[in-house]
Structure 1
Amino acid sequence: MISSDRGGNMEPGIARELFSQMVLIRTYEETILREYHADKKPIFDIGAGLIPGEMHLAAGQEPVAAGVCAHTIDADAVTATHRPHHFALSHGVDINAMTAEIFGRVDGLGRGRGGHMHLFDPQANFSCSGIVGEGLPVAVGQALAFSRRKTGNVAIAVAGEGAANQGAFHESLNLAALWKLPVVFVIEDNEWGISVPRSASTSVPSNAVRAAAYGMPGTQVEDNSVEAVYEEAGKAVERARDGGGPSLIEVQTLRLWGHFEGDAQGYRPDLEGVPGRDPLPTFENSLLADGVLDDAQIQSIKDEATRRVEDAVTYAKSSPEPDPARVGDYVFA
């Protein structure tokens, strides 16, 4: 067993799986970062290159997705945010089709028409949106369907701390609690709503306390610990599957990079200390110290992640671009 004062005791096999998932996510984000900037030099042009437009990457927030989705199954639903890659990968979205979509290619999830903020995979029951808080009521609807059909499935609704100030957040929690729906609300508190600190936008110290107003359990994971996220998510998902109704988990996580690529982050006074809070080396060092993994095993995990991600990029680049003459396809008239 792993002795962890942050996440309790954890089976070594589970710890290895969580670490592998976090490594895959980080490898993916680093690779997308490389590809995104490759043809935007020497002068950054957000509209140029193989991946034009905005790009929101989740480096530093890996523990949330890995810890939560370790408890989901294929038929469960996940609705994510505009920063979605970590949850998409953790919930089993096809990495090739997802990458092709990010590159705007016809073999993508949305045939190259949605881009990285609009990833929809019906087979994985995954969706996301660039609209703040949009996925919360969608997840409540999915949970209502699961409840009516008595499938035993759970919906995971992911939002940032800024979305917790939207009306959709409160409406969703109220209805989920009223109807005792199987949904888990996950708030990723990375401390910044674009350039606005949480302290300047939110009247409570933690959004977890807001759960009590709707008659559901609310808990906060304070240190971006994947062990603690795994533990709390396990309780919430089990409660939902057993008919106990919704729960809320807020994780104090970390945005290692900018809100979007090209963000100079001049508003952040904490940048100097950010690398020291990186959850991936923290978890890696813990696993090494506890003898759960050795250096060779860690390198093997990293090599496998690199292979999978590079294969996905190759797949995406080999997929054709959409034909401009067919711009009207798949659009509701």
Structure 2
Amino acid sequence: MAVAARKAGRAGSGAANKPNSNKAPAKNAASNSPQFDKDQDLSAYNEMLLIRRFEEKSGQMYGMGLIGGFCHLYIGQEAVVVGMQMATIEGDQVITGYRDHGHMLACGMDPKGVMAELTGRRGGLSKGKGGSMHMFSKEKHFYGGHGIVGAQVSLGTGLAFANHYRENGNVSLTYFGDGAANQGQVYESFNMAALWKLPAVYVIENNRYAMGTSVSRASAQTDFSKRGLSFGIPGEQVDGMDVRAVYAAGQRAIEHARTGKGPYILEMQTYRYRGHSMSDPAKYRTKDEVARMREEFDPIEQVRRRLLESWKLSEDELKAIDSRVREIVNEAAEFATHDPEPDPSELYTDILL
């Protein structure tokens, strides 16, 4: 279920959170949504629905004790990575933090391999040794999955430097959250990327809460698209709940970076429906707030409506899509619960001294 257009080349406490911390996604001139054709809407719907159903299943398996350690779900933010991947070409790289399952799936990584890694099995994409936060795929140009807040920004900048040095025409996409945006190494990376005009796109997934602290309580500058201005890095705010707006912004940013103009920042204004991790009850926000975001801005429901109203698909056709996606996810879960665990000798492999 890879994104067709891609192949064509084309994170405290919260009771005192300020009211503006959960404002609606941006709908300014820079994020006006282009029109998708039927194939684009269908592709986006399939990709986002796969991520949604996969993450729902992951949450269930975590609750059953089949997934250990930390587990951060991407539910609600699906339009960001799907829209961005639609704007990439073969060879462009992706790197992100620990809320990473959706990015893996959007890059085309096997759902069975992703789920098996979550359960610590041999067939996992890191041989069962990385877990939820540390998966990689050289084949799919996916460089993790990183558990250290903000660490991926420096590494993603390094990927962009490698592209610049090799003159291969590829762009590095580095994803991080509003909480990570306050890390010092982020700005060291910005400086280097701007100084050498590296082909880097920094995608800030602003889901309103860095763990449990709202943006307005943690950041003096809450317009994250402006975080690179002192380095001369352009940026824009994007409605991260609308896959079409994400795709359009992704095209602009990637073209800017690919043509030698240097790095670009995209602030995706999005929202996570679940807690920061599976152990987070999310008491820092109201149930009404989450319900309102689901009802008014859900990224999958927006595409679903277009498929029904604009492209005249029937409810039965959409149910069939959902059924196929659930089958893929169920097969992944079945594989991940029956695949053998790694041999203890694997503790001593893949170690660099």
Q: 2:309 aligns with which of 277, 281, 289?
A: 289
Q: 1:73 aligns with which of 85, 89, 94?
A: 89
Distance change >3 Å, CA 11–CA 243, structure 1 → 2: farther
Q: 1:185 aligns with which of 185, 188, 202?
A: 202
2:297 aligned with 1:273, yes or no?
Answer: no
User: In 2, distance between residues paired with 1:223 and 1:146?
Assistant: 27
Q: Which residue is equivalent to 2:254?
A: 237
Q: Which residue is equivalent to 1:21?
A: 47
Q: Which residue is equivalent to 2:25?
A: none
User: In 1, distance between residues paired with 2:115 and 2:89?
Assistant: 22
User: In 2, distance between residues paired with 1:60 and 1:272?
Assistant: 12
User: In 2, distance between residues paired with 1:326 and 1:66?
Assistant: 34
SS of residue in 2 equivalent to 1:327 = helix
Are the aligned partners of 2:239 and 2:246 in contact in 1 as well (CA < 8 Å)?
no
Are the aligned partners of 1:256 and 1:278 in contact in 2 as well (CA < 8 Å)?
no
Distance change >3 Å, CA 242–CA 53, structure 1 → 2: same
Cα distance, 1:117 vs structure 2: 0.4
Are the aligned partners of 1:140 and 1:176 in contact in 2 as well (CA < 8 Å)?
yes
Q: Which residue is equivalent to 1:307?
A: 327
User: In 2, distance between residues paired with 1:10 and 1:223?
Assistant: 16
Are the aligned partners of 2:178 and 2:206 in contact in 1 as well (CA < 8 Å)?
yes
Are the aligned partners of 2:34 and 2:245 in contact in 1 as well (CA < 8 Å)?
yes
Matches within 5 A, 1:216-227: 216-222=233-239, 224-227=241-244
Distance change >3 Å, CA 153–CA 88, structure 1 → 2: same
Cα RMSD of the aligned pairs, angstroms, is: 1.7
Q: Which residue is equivalent to 1:176?
A: 193
Cα distance, 1:326 vs structure 2: 4.5
User: In 2, distance between residues paired with 1:232 and 1:325?
Assistant: 46
User: In 2, distance between residues paired with 1:275 and 1:266?
Assistant: 17
User: In 2, distance between residues paired with 1:326 and 1:271?
Assistant: 42
- Deviation by residue 1:209-259 (Cα, 9 ceiling, x = unmatched): 123222122010146211100110011112222222211101110111111
Cα distance, 1:6 vs structure 2: 4.2
Cα distance, 1:32 vs structure 2: 1.0
What residue identity is the alignment partner of 2:253? Answer: A
- Deviation by residue 1:275-301 (Cα, 9 ceiling, x = unmatched): 324222132113322126432332232
Distance change >3 Å, CA 296–CA 94, structure 1 → 2: same
Normalised to the residue count of structure 1, the TM-score between the two structures is 0.91
Task: Structure 1: give runs of 5+ residues left out of the alignment.
Answer: 40-48
- Count, aligned residues: 319
Q: Which residue is equivalent to 1:63?
A: 79
Q: Which residue is equivalent to 1:46?
A: none
Using the aligned pairs only, state the percent identity.
36
Q: 1:206 aligns with which of 202, 206, 223?
A: 223
What residue identity is the alignment partner of 1:85? Answer: H
User: In 1, distance between residues paired with 2:312 and 2:298?
Assistant: 20
SS of residue in 2 equivalent to 1:311 = helix
Cα distance, 1:23 vs structure 2: 0.7
Cα distance, 1:22 vs structure 2: 0.6
Distance change >3 Å, CA 147–CA 52, structure 1 → 2: same
Are the aligned partners of 2:173 and 2:202 in contact in 1 as well (CA < 8 Å)?
yes
User: In 2, distance between residues paired with 1:230 and 1:50?
Assistant: 35
Q: Which residue is equivalent to 2:99?
A: 83
User: In 2, distance between residues paired with 1:172 and 1:248?
Assistant: 12
SS of residue in 2 equivalent to 1:184 = strand
Q: Which residue is equivalent to 1:151?
A: 168
Are the aligned partners of 1:106 and 1:321 in contact in 2 as well (CA < 8 Å)?
yes
Cα distance, 1:324 vs structure 2: 3.5
Cα distance, 1:150 vs structure 2: 1.4
- Deviation by residue 1:261-287 (Cα, 9 ceiling, x = unmatched): 132111113345343242221321133
Cα distance, 1:202 vs structure 2: 0.7
Cα distance, 1:315 vs structure 2: 2.0
User: In 1, distance between residues paired with 2:38 and 2:193?
Assistant: 35
Q: Which residue is equivalent to 1:131?
A: 148
Cα distance, 1:50 vs structure 2: 1.8
What residue identity is the alignment partner of 1:268? Answer: R
Task: Structure 2: give runs of 5+ residues left out of the alignment.
Answer: 1-30
- Deviation by residue 1:277-332 (Cα, 9 ceiling, x = unmatched): 42221321133221264323322321221122222222222211123355333333
SS of residue in 1 equivalent to 2:227 = helix
- Deviation by residue 1:117-163 (Cα, 9 ceiling, x = unmatched): 01111111211201111111111111111111111111000000111
Greater shift after overlay, 320-329 or 301-310?
320-329
Are the aligned partners of 1:157 and 1:184 in contact in 2 as well (CA < 8 Å)?
yes
User: In 2, distance between residues paired with 1:326 and 1:210?
Assistant: 42
Distance change >3 Å, CA 287–CA 125, structure 1 → 2: same
Distance change >3 Å, CA 185–CA 293, structure 1 → 2: farther
Are the aligned partners of 1:221 and 1:250 in contact in 2 as well (CA < 8 Å)?
yes
Greater shift after overlay, 210-219 or 132-141?
210-219
Q: Which residue is equivalent to 2:59?
A: 33
Q: Which residue is equivalent to 1:114?
A: 130
